Structure 1
Amino acid sequence: MRKYLIVVIILIITGCSDGFNYETNAIYSAEASNLTVNLKASGFILHGHDLDDDGIVNGYITSTKFTDTLFIKATEYKLFVQSNKTDTITSRANKGIKQYLDEIHYKNYNTQELSELEDVIKATAYGPKGTYMKGQTKLINVLRVDFNTY
């Protein structure tokens, strides 16, 4: 009886956590547009939930075709793009990647690929179950995805 009680107490204690923190590191490429995206997402997933409602994605987009680095911050619903040029910092909230590339006069992109890339970035904010893995994208290449939970 005592052994049974100890097992029940352990199950109750371990099963009653509030949830878990996560950190996702991902690298994607949009080959037709010559873009590489590095993302780091973090947040907290409540016990019994599959997705994070308040996750944040930070990252950057680079290309061998232009010298600027586009820094991004995203949630599941919004995308914020920031350029860090040597003379100024320009911010564009809720503008898509396409609009920002147009502003820096980069025209060598695939519109459908950029649309999927924005979806991939925003989905990463949902946590590990929302993050796109190999075989789940049509145009974007998944180069690497790592998860840490604690």
Structure 2
Amino acid sequence: IIFTKVLYHSHGKDGGVFAQKVPILRTMTADNPLTEIVPGLQVSEDDTVLTKKYPSAFFGTELASMLTARGCDTIILVGCSTSGCIRATALDAMQHGFRCIVPRECVGDRTREVHESNLFDINAKNGDVVSASEVHEYLEKLP
């Protein structure tokens, strides 16, 4: 499992245009508990936590090389927001040659309309939007 989190320096200036457009992002600093992985999700010592500054988990991180080194050809993408981080990561996953699966019940956004519109585009262009039960069945079949 690879987790991602957004983290900026205490001055928040390293967020560029993204932090200008979404000023609340400037508060995503090391002393803010909101930058931690969601309570209830256990990060094991076999898991990786990547720090990023922009919506895509691929941009400015070593994610693509990590997945390639592990022999991965598919990612299952969960989290929020569907219109931001999920969509950007799904697009970059496809551009790096990875199949991207998005379980619709495991992603979210600020409104239902924005969420559904982005799931429609992801499914049409760069990923497979499926149910969580389909993902569970897929995982059960893996060696």
Q: What TM-score do the two structures reach when normalised by structure 2?
A: 0.28
Which structure has more RCO (C-alpha within 8 Å, separation ≥ 6)?
Answer: 1
More helix per residue: 2
